[in-house]
Amino acid sequence: MVGELIAGRYELEKLVGSGGMSNVFRAHDRLLERTVALKILHEQYTRDEDYVERFRREARAVAQLAHPNIVTVIDRGEQDGRQFIVFEYVDGQNLKDLSARGPLEAHEAIRLTLQVARALSFAHGRGLVHRDVKPQNVLLNDDGQAKVTDFGIARSLDVHGVTQTGTVLGTSDYIAPEQARGLKVDPKTDIYSLGAVLYELLTGEVPYSGDNFVAVAMRHVNEPPPSVLDHRPDCPLRLDLAIQRAMAKDPQDRFQSMDDFVVELEGCLGELDGRGDEGATMIVPAPPKPRRTRPRRDRRIPAVPLLLVLLAMLLVAGGAYLLLRDDGGVPLAPKGSSHTSVQLQGSGAYDPEGDGSEHGEDAHFATDHDASTSWDTETYNNFQKGGVGLVLKAPRQVALSKLTVQSVGSDFDAQIKAGDSSGGPFTDVSGDFQPVGSSKAFSVDTHGRKYLYYVVWLKLPFEGGQAQISEVTART
């Protein structure tokens, strides 16, 4: 097939990858004079409408995902009955190639995993579960940027029946227990697989080995998560616990969302960089349930010796606590804390006194976990509107308690509003306008009511300018 011209435009230059459903070629786009990647469905599947639809679904799914850490879809088409998808070409290795050379330093492993986690969080926010997260599906460009690819078995959370039980898809080295058992998948399935990938980056080995697909899959189902510390005693304890949390057998015991996994990985990276995390807490697995013990005979101990023993135990415990704190330990989360992060998605702009646009197509840059990108307002010579807004959509109706806005050196005041529709009306939930500066944490009070949409409603100084919002995070 090398040398063949597809759709009168794409000249196949080299086979760069092959999978169970398709081949991937490096190709030259004659129209735009650039190098692209062309994925062509194997001929034996072109007569099977299920496979053809899965292939088409991949194109539709990834076309929705404009994110710096997701490979971009450029085109899709059919020639002589063969289905093809055109992607941006990433000239580099994949994570599997990288890990094959040996374990990565913890800092580099976290940095790469964070990029993948942010990409998957973005996909989850748009209703897509990847279902085949593995190092081979993470490409690295010349700048070391990770890009997730191969959404060929991705499933939409919004389409009835596509997460049906009884179907096992995925790669056994990284497969989640519920997926191996043919049960319904959700975003926590990707969390498990990404935890397995991070384990391999740190150890150079997959979490479980076996002679065949079934043997490995059953180990994922039945055996407890392995500890990185067994291979890498230098691995930070917090990072090891994060991986075990991500790879918990019961999805309910994992991080509640990919965004929560991102927050914990950022905390681990901050500790390695010596920054720490002010107010952050280490998320650890739930303690095991106490074992039943046989009743003992009542042996009375004189009160004074008993008090002395208890006092000694308290002193030892206090000393151990201080030693742990001096050694870089992180206090556990306060008991009863119920605040959790919420992954908002920039969905548009609100400009009721203008033309209604206000760069709404760039709203997603404010929630992509990349401080180098931003949603920007129009540039004004003077600002006479009551305000313009960045519209944020929650994954479900929630009552937020805190919303933090980060800006890029622009001067504006803002308040937070909430509503049930992206087009309004919106209700003030944070009080009067407040200056944002480089970062502003707004206290939100919805009076117990849950909303699907929140708006950063802002005003520029009268002399105008431009507002830039690089990141928005939120908590219940």
> Which positions are catalytic?
132
Q: Rounded to 5 degrees, what are φ and ψ at 51? A: -70, -40
Decide: 126 and 65 in contact? Cβ < 8 Å: yes
Q: Which amino acid is at 143?
A: D
User: Can you give the C-alpha Rg of the chain in angstroms?
Assistant: 26
**Cβ partners under 8 Å of residue 181, min gap 6:** 168, 221
Q: Containing H/E element for 18?
A: strand 10-18
* Token pair listed for 411: 């001067």
Three-class SS state of 175:
coil
**Closest listed residue to residue 472, CA positions, set 446, 453, 451:** 453
Decide: 256 and 340 in contact? Cβ < 8 Å: yes
442 CB neighbour count, 10 Å cutoff: 21
**Closest listed residue to residue 469, CA positions, set 395, 370, 331:** 370
**Closest listed residue to residue 280, CA positions, set 212, 331, 230, 316:** 331
**Cβ partners under 8 Å of residue 308, min gap 6:** none
Decide: 243 and 268 in contact? Cβ < 8 Å: no
Side-chain-side CA neighbours of residue 263 (13 Å): 19
